Amino acid sequence: MKRYNTTFLKWACLLIMCIIIMAGNAFAADFTGKLKMKLDDETNEGDIFVSGSKYCLELEQYGEKIKVIVDNGKNETTIIRLSIKEYRTIASDDMMSLMNDPFQSYQYSLGNGEEKFMGTEMVNDYECEVYQIIMADTPVMEKWQAQSLDFPIKIVQHGQQERVIEITGIEEKAIEASIFNIPEDFTKWIDPNSLPGEQPEWAVDIEKAPVMTPPFEKKLVTGDIIRVKIEPGKSLAVKAIGKSETKAVATVIPFKGSNPLKNEKWYGNFAEKGVICDRCHEMSGEADEFIIRLYKGNITVAAKWMDVFEKEALTGEEIHYPISGDEHITTRFINLTDEAAEATFAYYQNGQLIEDDVPLKYRTITLKNPWDVSTSTLRAKGDELVIKVNTGKMQIKLGQFDSFEF
């Protein structure tokens, strides 16, 4: 299994950003053209093929030939590395991507800003409708939608980095269906972070470590371990108190049996100065216990349970979660079936659905494989969040927390 270098990931993310913005077009005309992507002073060029609800990009970046295929009907983006015969498939509207990168958030941003029609303008011999998204009275994005193609041929994002995507040399013609196929001899890339972590050497005798039940405070020295059994309907909050100037390194790691869910380096240091606390939302369906370990230094650790909503829900079931205040809502979904599971969410006020201009696909959680996990942070709107399981069976956990309180 090979790792993606940072240069490749940077440009791959830019490609996905462009496709997310384009994905608002259900069925575009068939055409091909040259794609130019400019990120600050860096420019990359390639070819684009568009056919109905599918798009394909062929590019060479720093000697790496890649192909990006988007199936808007399936909400999938596939990145293919031709040199190593490897491909990676992700959801085109992955919420984490949308929330952390402004350029790929055009469709999502429609729910947070105001889109204005700015008129028409000729771009590369095509008459375009020009749209602009404004947030807090500041223009953040613009797109030029070619009317005859029903497809944006230019997109500009303003901010610390100006990013421009433009399609030139457009030729309208039928696109071969084979261009959207993954070669048969290519293998699927597996994210190492999705694999179970290997048992650390220090965890060989983990059963000898004390099991404690929150709330508690306990002094720890280098190498000390505490075990906390996971309880349904609760999330664990942990913090280091009485911290001195001496550097301390402590983590909370969820374990299933004798192995961590992910590599131990995945988990952050809650004893670092400036860290308020660690909140751990893993559920009994995926882990057995939390392991608190002090790698370095001396601290007093404080731990407590936070009461949360937790339930296993089947197809057709609805969860009605009352919203209190403006604190964001932390969510966690686990697929408990052998097939795909899907759920959607919506906000209500006084029993009435709040009309939301965020498309339904951005309010849908899809877990394709058994034990797939999805976590996200939702805005607090109205007085009730309603989650409906459309297919399969899910274990769902919800809670509202003040980010600045233990």
DSSP letter string over 278-294? EEE---TTT-SEEEEEE
**What distance in Å separates the CA atoms of residue 162 and residue 389, rounded to the nearest whole number?**
40
Contact (Cβ atoms closer than 8 angstroms) between residue 241 and residue 300: yes
Radius of gyration of the chain (CA): 24
* Residues 185/179, Cβ–Cβ less than 8 Å: no
The pLDDT value given to residue 311: 94
- Domain range annotation of the chain: 6-191, 201-307, 309-400
- The dihedral region occupied by 401, where left means phi > 0, alpha psi between -120 and 50, and beta the remainder, is beta
Tell me phi and psi for residue 102, to 5 degrees. Answer: -65, -30
Q: Phi/psi zone of residue 62: left (φ > 0), alpha (ψ -120 to 50 degrees), beta? A: left
Q: What is the pLDDT of residue 318?
A: 96
Instruction: Round to whole Å and give the CA distance between 313 and 344.
Output: 13
Distance CA 319, CA 317 (A): 7
Single pTM value for the model: 0.59
Contact between 335 and 277 under an 8 Å Cβ cutoff? The reply is no
* Residues 6+ positions from 29 with CB-CB distance below 8 Å: 50, 148, 149, 150, 151, 172
**CA-CA distances (angstroms) from residue 392 to 95, 307, 336?**
21, 26, 8
DSSP 356-371: --S-GGGGEEEE-STT
User: Smallest Cα–Cα separation from 281: which of 368, 347, 376?
Assistant: 376
Token look-up 């105001």 returns 114
CA 282 – CA 262 distance, rounded (Å) = 12
3-state secondary structure of 398: strand
Q: Which CATH superfamily is domain 309-400 in?
A: GOLD domain (2.60.120.680)
Other CB atoms closer than 10 Å to residue 267's CB: what's the count?
A: 20
φ, ψ dihedrals at 30, nearest 5°: -75, 130
Give Cα separations from 335 to 62, 149, 375 (angstroms): 39, 39, 12
Q: Do the domains 309-400 and 201-307 match in fold?
A: yes
Alpha-carbon span 344 to 48, nearest angstrom: 33
Dist CA 378 CA 18 (whole Å): 24
CATH code of the domain occupying 6-191 = 2.50.20.10
pLDDT for the residue 164: 86
Which CATH code is given to the segment(s) 201-307? 2.60.120
* pLDDT reported for residue 4: 44
Q: What is the pLDDT along the chain (406 residues), one digit of tens a residue?
A: 344 444 444 555 555 555 555 555 557 789 999 988 887 777 888 899 999 888 888 887 667 788 888 887 777 778 888 888 888 877 665 543 343 333 344 555 555 678 899 999 999 999 999 999 888 788 888 889 999 998 889 988 887 677 888 999 999 999 999 999 998 889 987 766 666 788 899 999 899 999 999 999 999 999 999 999 999 999 999 999 876 656 889 999 999 988 999 888 888 899 987 788 889 999 988 899 999 999 998 999 999 999 999 999 999 999 999 998 888 899 999 999 988 999 999 999 999 998 776 778 778 999 988 888 998 888 888 999 999 999 999 999 999 988 778 8
What CA–CA distance (Å, rounded) separates 167 from 354? Answer: 38
Distance CA(268)–CA(316), nearest Å, equals 37
pLDDT in tens, 172-230: 999 999 999 998 889 987 766 666 788 899 999 899 999 999 999 999 999 999 999 99
